[in-house]
Structure 1
Amino acid sequence: MGQVADGVSSANAESSDNAEPGQSSEPASRGLLSRFFGGRSAPDEEERIELPPAPAPVPLGLGNLRRMRVGDVAIPKVEIEAVPVTISRDELVEKFREHGYSRLPVFKETLDTPLGLVHLKDLALEYGFGSGSGRFSLRKLIRPLLYVPPSMPIGVLLQKMQVQRIHMALVIDEYGGVDGLLTLEDLIEQVIGEIEDEHDEADDAYWREEKPGQWIVQARAPVHEFEGEIGMRLADEEAEDEIDSMGGLVFMQLGRVPARGEVVVAENGVEYEVVDADPRRIKRLRVRLPGVAPAE
């Protein structure tokens, strides 16, 4: 113990003796602390920041009916497409045509005062097929919908929909306002996977060109195949080993699932507009190459 103390004392004395005039002598520990808290140990050393891994997708199966809650599946309020009760017939038809839904919520003044839902079939039977000469009234077409809390298991909601024969529900928060929306199809997809009907893109049609330099692309489309189609590289060399699909490419750039309607601009100038998505995955994208003006 004494030898260690003597060694340290003699080293400190020797260090102070060798110090040149005008140069302060500081203990060696000061340099260590400054490296710890202030500077970098080497000027050319690169700092690496590791991002947390992306959350794993929820597996499908009957267990989700008990495990998942309504709040996990519902479409957020900002993405809900709804119509006011005062809407005209032509505007309502255009709304159905624009979004491709068969049901739309109806509200009085704001979405927080919902009245029910309108079904496309009811509109067609009442005012279509040559019988649309009468005065239009949306109120007589309104059907009831369900109001549920976000904590309800989706299996319980599925039973309520089956018993009451109502295929749409609004999620209501603790203050009585609308917090989200989900349909019977959303619930079933948590068990068996995505359901596609005759209006969805065909399985073998990963993309279609809307106009020169602009495509509608399925999120599951392979990145390398679409790169061959447009003759442009979209993923860098590091990302190519980790990304297989176009949806994964956009997710990788943001680090999260984007909302429907969100536009992501890559470093190479390519724009990715999210045409269809839910809170858990991207479904369709609009890809616009640099120099191509957006559609009106």
Structure 2
Amino acid sequence: MSDDPSSSSVQDARPAEKSWLDKLITAFSGEPKSREDLLDIIKDAADNKLLDQEALTIIEGALDVADQQVREIMIPRSQMVCVNIDDQPDKLLPTVIESGHSRFPVIGESTDDIRGILLAKDLLPLILNGKDNFTLENIIRPATIVPESKRLNVLLREFRENRYHMALVIDEYGGISGLVTIEDILEEIVGEIEDETDEDNDGAFIRQVSDTDFIIKALTPIEDFNEHFSAGFDEDEFDTIGGILMRAFGHLPQRNETTEIDGFNFRVLYADNRQIHLLRLTPPA
């Protein structure tokens, strides 16, 4: 054991974390040693105004997608909007119009009997040419099938290369467990993408995405949250569920940070440099 006091003092004075200069030197001396090193450099760049918060969020989202599988974001089987191969226009068109979707799985005898994908735009000839001799089989496109375990970054690349926007998801037994779209993956990167067909309930939004999970907006009023989940969150101190989350975190959380309150597990899906926007919730069992 060394008796040199100067050696001990130098070691004690060494900072616990790398300084910005250390990280910068690491970045230029070679590749970052881990994903955490890379994120540290990117976050420090944002802190030094070399990146804005939106760019940082997108970069983090892109890195997260590389670690996620289809099963984590797919629309579950129970919430799929399908049409039957034998449906006639009188039954088919109301489903297409009411859902607001642009693509639909076409099934046969059951949901596991996938016949193809219907594009809503392919129904336009019905308006021009009438409904005579109409059969879905003549206009549907081939369906793409992917396993639940497929990586999102790989699927996104395939979506782009093959120019399709929807895939059906199968479980380990070959049954249909859900579907995934290119928009679902992009939302993991850039946050919620809303269009004119999305419902807007004055900021309040609770959507079930699986048997155990929900997507909720941070601006959901606590009163609505309590009513929907039979919860008992205090409505006096804060107006929205986002306010309660801010107190629980103690800081403005970043994407994928999690916290648990009264058995409710919250994961941040999207937040900017001012507030939380979107959450994934797993209520108590």
TM superposition score category, shorter chain reference? 0.5 to 0.7
Structure 1 residues 281 and 136: CA distance shift in structure 2, 3 A: farther
Q: What do you get for the CA RMSD once the two structures are aligned?
A: 3.8
2:62 matches 1:62: yes
Cα deviation, 1:165-190, whole Å, max 9, x if unaligned, reads: 11101111122111111111000000
Identity of aligned residues (%): 33
Question: 2:271: which partner in 1?
Answer: none
Give the conservation status (yes or no) of the 8 Å contact 1:73–1:279. Answer: no
Distance in 2 of aligned mates of 1:193 and 1:154: 15
Question: 1:95: which partner in 2?
Answer: 95
Question: 2:72: which partner in 1?
Answer: 72
Question: 1:120: which partner in 2?
Answer: 120
Question: 1:135: which partner in 2?
Answer: 133
Q: How does 1:106-255 map to 2 (within 5 A)?
A: 106-124=106-124, 126-128=125-127, 130-201=128-199, 205-206=202-203, 219-221=217-219, 223=221, 238=234, 240-241=236-237, 244-245=240-241, 255=264
The amino acid across from 2:150 in the alignment is M
Give the conservation status (yes or no) of the 8 Å contact 2:264–2:281. Answer: no
Give secondary structure in 1 for the equivalent of 2:129: coil
Question: 1:48: which partner in 2?
Answer: none
Cα deviation, 1:171-215, whole Å, max 9, x if unaligned, reads: 111221111111110000000001011223469x437xxxxxxxx
Q: How does 1:34-73 map to 2 (within 5 A)?
A: 61-73=61-73
Distance in 2 of aligned mates of 1:179 and 1:118: 19
Structure 1 residues 134 and 220: CA distance shift in structure 2, 3 A: farther
Structure 1 residues 159 and 188: CA distance shift in structure 2, 3 A: same
Deviation at 1:238, TM superposition (A): 2.8
TM-score with structure 1 setting the length: 0.53
Give secondary structure in 1 for the equivalent of 2:234: helix
The amino acid across from 1:194 in the alignment is E
Give the conservation status (yes or no) of the 8 Å contact 1:149–1:172. Answer: yes
Distance in 2 of aligned mates of 1:123 and 1:139: 12
Cα deviation, 1:24-78, whole Å, max 9, x if unaligned, reads: xxxxxxxxxxxxxxxxxxxxxxxxxxxxxxxxxxx95111221111111111111
Give secondary structure in 1 for the equivalent of 2:195: coil
Structure 1 residues 238 and 113: CA distance shift in structure 2, 3 A: same
Structure with bigger helix share is 2
Give the conservation status (yes or no) of the 8 Å contact 1:77–1:181. Answer: yes
Deviation at 1:280, TM superposition (A): 3.7
Deviation at 1:99, TM superposition (A): 1.5
Structure 1 residues 279 and 78: CA distance shift in structure 2, 3 A: farther
Give the conservation status (yes or no) of the 8 Å contact 1:167–1:183. Answer: yes
Structure 1 residues 131 and 239: CA distance shift in structure 2, 3 A: same
Give the conservation status (yes or no) of the 8 Å contact 2:223–2:235. Answer: no
Distance in 1 of aligned mates of 2:140 and 2:233: 54
Deviation at 1:243, TM superposition (A): 6.5
State the aligned residue count.
185
Distance in 1 of aligned mates of 2:95 and 2:121: 14
Question: 1:55: which partner in 2?
Answer: none
In structure 1, the gaps of 5 or more residues are: 1-58, 208-217, 228-233, 258-277, 283-296
Cα deviation, 1:75-107, whole Å, max 9, x if unaligned, reads: 111111111101111211111122211111001
Structure 1 residues 172 and 238: CA distance shift in structure 2, 3 A: same
Distance in 2 of aligned mates of 1:123 and 1:143: 12
Distance in 2 of aligned mates of 1:181 and 1:279: 21
Give the conservation status (yes or no) of the 8 Å contact 1:74–1:182. Answer: yes
Larger Rg: 1
Give the conservation status (yes or no) of the 8 Å contact 2:218–2:279. Answer: no
Structure 1 residues 253 and 106: CA distance shift in structure 2, 3 A: farther
Give secondary structure in 2 for the equivalent of 1:171: strand
